Amino acid sequence: MVGRFLLKDIPMVYGRQDDIYSFIKGEIGKEKLWIVTLNALMYMEYLKGNEYSEAISKASFSIPDGVGIVKLLKKKGIETERCPGIDTMKYLLELSHMNNYRIFLLGSEESIVKQAAERIEKMFKVNIVGYHHGYFDTNNEGEVVRKINDSKTDLLFVGMGIPKQESFILRNFETLEAKLMMGVGGSFGVFAGVTKRAPLFFQKVGLEWLYRMLEEPHRIKKIPDLFKFYVNLYRTKN
């Protein structure tokens, strides 16, 4: 069983990871589905009250990606397990193999998304019906959306990072015809083999973000937002 909770105006689904994934499986095909895998940095961006904030609140639901969100929910009396974005994507790829779902990848550089598509097809024995890089102008979004819809994809994974990926889905949600849409951050780089996922130790203790910062120094600029998140988490009573 899963529970639902409104985190400010973010609709959350929480519970055991297996139960959350079973819930997602049951929701595919009922109506157009938009899933957000929420972490601390995304939550801090949401608090800025911008287009991204609107996107997060209008998604079908969010699931707890990062340990920070797990701790935030626990402070509100809610126990949940993490559902890391890349693990959620892997689950959906396995589901696609079993259900013959068609998949489209949008985001990253052309060479990386192409390599990710090729490796995902071999690894999961799924049907990648199309891919497109993430470096396009918003004026060309209509053309990209047409390409996605023409592919007749069932699942659309958008790997453009925050806030771009959720903002793209928000602007085009009504037009996109996929059964399920989900932002996946830098997951394409991991599947393509150009980015290493954090070792198991970092995953288990919820410090994948720290490993990524060590591997990619440009991410260090995000530390102030993480600091603010945890200061607020432990300073406020609820």
Q: Is residue 64 part of a domain?
A: yes
Task: Provide φ and ψ at 14, rounded to 5°.
Answer: -140, 165
Q: Is residue 46 part of a domain?
A: yes
Contact between 11 and 59 under an 8 Å Cβ cutoff? The reply is: yes
Q: Is residue 227 part of a domain?
A: no
pLDDT digits (tens, 9 = 90+) for 109-162: 999 999 999 999 999 999 999 999 999 998 999 999 999 999 999 999 999 998
Query: What is the tally of structural domains in the chain?
Result: 1
Domain assignment of residue 82, given as a range: 3-192
Q: What pLDDT is recorded for position 210?
A: 62
Rounded Cα distance between 7 and 85, Å, is 19
Q: Is residue 84 part of a domain?
A: yes
Q: Is residue 234 part of a domain?
A: no
Residue 42 belongs to domain with CATH number: 3.40.50
Least confident of 96-105, 171-180, 190-199: 190-199
- Each as own residue / partner, the long-range contacts of residues 114-121 (CB below 8 Å, 24 or more positions apart, any chain) are 115/192, 115/193, 115/194, 116/188, 116/189, 116/191, 116/192, 119/191, 119/192, 119/193, 120/93, 120/191
Q: Is residue 137 part of a domain?
A: yes
Dmax of the chain from CA atoms? Answer: 50
Q: Is residue 9 part of a domain?
A: yes
pLDDT digits (tens, 9 = 90+) for 27-48: 999 999 999 999 998 999 999 9
Q: Can you name the residues that pair with 10 across neighbouring β-strands?
A: 7
Q: Across residues 167-175, what is the average pLDDT?
A: 97
Q: Is residue 179 part of a domain?
A: yes
Least confident of 21-30, 89-98, 143-152, 220-229: 220-229
Separation of CA 190 from chain center? 14
